[in-house]
């Protein structure tokens, strides 16, 4: 059996290429629904689009950046899923 292992996937974890592509296809399918689009819009509003003032603590900033990373990863998975599906 010829398994293709990606050295790095979108999330940085090595896995078989077909498995990585299936993950992205699942994200694209889930977030392409009307409900999924609204959920992603909500997640963006509380993470990527949120602005913290100059008095933000290190802990709050680290939490915010982690949350932004996850939402950004979801968006990259969706884009990748659309490319794989073509």
Give the pLDDT band (50/70/90) at residue 86: confident
Q: Which residues have a Cβ under 8 Å from the Cβ of 4 and sit 6 or more positions away?
A: 16, 17, 18
Domain ranges of the chain: 36-86
CA 2, chain centre distance (Å)? 28
pLDDT tens for 68-80 read 999 999 999 999 9
pLDDT tier at 85, thresholds 50, 70, 90: confident
Q: What is the pLDDT of residues 29-50, one digit of tens each?
A: 999 999 999 999 999 999 999 9
Cα(65)–Cα(72) distance, integer angstroms? 10
Q: Which pLDDT score, from 0 to 100, does residue 5 have?
A: 64
Residue-averaged pLDDT of the chain: 92
């Amino acid at each position: 059996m010829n398994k293709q292992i990606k050295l790095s996937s979108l999330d940085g974890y090595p896995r078989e290429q077909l498995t990585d592509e299936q993950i992205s296809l699942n994200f694209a399918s889930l977030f392409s629904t009307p409900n999924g689009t609204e959920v992603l819009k909500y997640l963006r509003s509380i993470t990527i689009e949120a602005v913290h003032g100059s008095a933000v603590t290190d802990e709050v900033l680290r939490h915010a950046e982690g949350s932004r990373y996850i939402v950004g990863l979801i968006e990259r998975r969706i884009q990748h899923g659309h490319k794989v599906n073509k």
